[in-house]
């Protein structure tokens, strides 16, 4: 039998067959992604072949069909493993807030590093605009300008008041959409505002820490009556990359990749301290975002440090 994985709980996977029946399935054996170990070899969105066990609604996944794309991150618990977030998606929807909780420096750019390698279009959604004061609105305008300038769609919404909700809903209809963001940004509230029938669980941010709390604990796909689907995923607290090299990062900051043709060292330029770097010159001239460049340097620094300690272990 063939079906699509609609929910992952770590050890069991909900699979919707081609006839529309849902089965709870497990896996036997090991599945790998290139040369990386996976904490979860099967992702929501995967098309799989499975066989039924003796019970009516349980089965065993035998084969994962080729993926058109996937989104993967370094496992937060096992730094040498990867965690599959979702696969076979049409676009990613990155949900953030300027305040309550505060936007983490670099979060948007780190999330884009998960989608750009597979050319997955991304929409950046700024939620809770009803709470923004003057400073927050200025930051909203700034980030909107930065990301629209390099080709990303941005939408400002308020799940509470309904601002921008219909616009976002139109963007999602007819597509397989991955919803991701920091904990507490209101992903579930946005989904409920667009599709009340789903009635997803929601929570307030912590009064003590001002940080978000998890309400979505497992990735799950919801079919849309209008066509398409959304894949709701747990909130993310941090993102690191054991599957990327410095050149990978440079090539997937899309405006840097375009400018690299003008660098003295071309595509091998890391845009850090090389002479004749067109990216550094563009930053100095205010032609590309300085904040985005600082985020880039932070990621490159982390990778270089990670590689240093890995080399030390092998000595």
CATH superfamily of 70-232: P-loop containing nucleotide triphosphate hydrolases (3.40.50.300)
Domain ranges in the chain with CATH number 1.10.40.50: 246-314
Per-residue pLDDT of the chain (315 residues; tens, 9 = 90+): 999 999 998 789 999 999 999 999 998 866 656 666 778 889 999 999 999 987 778 999 999 999 999 999 888 777 778 888 999 999 999 999 999 999 998 999 999 999 999 999 999 999 999 999 999 999 999 999 999 999 999 999 999 999 999 999 999 999 999 999 998 999 999 999 999 988 887 755 544 445 444 455 789 999 999 999 999 998 888 788 888 999 999 999 999 999 999 999 999 999 999 999 999 999 999 999 999 999 999 999 999 987 654 544 443
Portions of the chain given CATH number 2.40.50.140? 2-64
Long-range contacts of 255-262 (CB under 8 A, 24+ apart): 255/150, 255/288, 256/288, 256/296, 259/288
Kindly report the CATH class assigned to 246-314: mainly alpha
Domain(s) labelled CATH 3.40.50.300 in the chain stretch across: 70-232
Q: What is the pTM of this model?
A: 0.90
Q: Which of 234-260 are b and which e, b meaning 16 or more Cβ less than 10 Å from the residue's Cβ?
A: bbbeebbbbbbebeebbbbbebbeebb
E-strand spans in 161-269? 176-181, 220-223, 229-232
Q: Which residues contact 297 (CB under 8 A, 6 or more apart)?
A: 272
Q: Top-level CATH class of 2-64?
A: mainly beta
| Gap between the Cα atoms of 64 and 13, Å rounded | 13
């Amino acid at each position: 039998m063939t079906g699509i994985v609609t929910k992952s709980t770590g050890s069991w996977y909900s699979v919707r067959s081609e006839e529309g029946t849902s089965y709870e399935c497990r896996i036997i054996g090991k599945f790998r992604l290139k040369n990386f170990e996976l904490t979860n070899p099967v992702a929501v969105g995967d098309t799989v072949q499975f066989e039924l066990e003796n019970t009516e609604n349980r089965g065993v996944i035998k084969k994962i069909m080729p993926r058109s794309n996937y989104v993967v991150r370094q496992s937060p618990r096992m730094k040498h493993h990867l965690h599959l977030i979702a696969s076979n998606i049409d676009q990613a929807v990155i949900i953030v807030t300027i305040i309550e909780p505060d936007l983490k420096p670099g979060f948007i750019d780190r999330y884009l590093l998960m989608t750009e390698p597979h050319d997955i279009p991304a929409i950046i959604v700024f939620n809770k605009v009803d709470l923004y004061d003057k400073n927050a609105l200025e930051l909203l305008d700034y980030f909107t300008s930065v990301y629209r300038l390099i080709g990303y769609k941005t939408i400002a919404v308020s799940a509470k008041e309904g601002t921008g909700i219909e616009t976002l809903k139109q963007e999602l209809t007819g597509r397989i959409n991955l919803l991701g963001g920091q904990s507490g940004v209101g992903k579930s509230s946005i989904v409920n505002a667009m599709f009340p029938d789903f009635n997803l669980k929601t929570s307030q941010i912590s009064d003590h820490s001002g940080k978000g709390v998890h309400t979505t604990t497992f990735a799950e796909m919801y079919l849309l009556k209008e066509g398409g689907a959304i894949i709701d995923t747990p909130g993310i607290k941090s993102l690191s990359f054991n599957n990327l090299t410095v050149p990978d990062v440079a090539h997937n900051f899309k405006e840097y990749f375009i400018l690299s043709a003008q660098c003295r060292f071309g595509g091998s330029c890391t845009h850090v301290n090389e002479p004749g770097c067109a990216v550094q010159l563009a930053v100095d001239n205010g032609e590309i975002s300085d904040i985005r460049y600082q985020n880039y340097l932070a990621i490159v620094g982390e990778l270089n440090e990670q590689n240093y300690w890995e080399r030390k272990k092998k000595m």
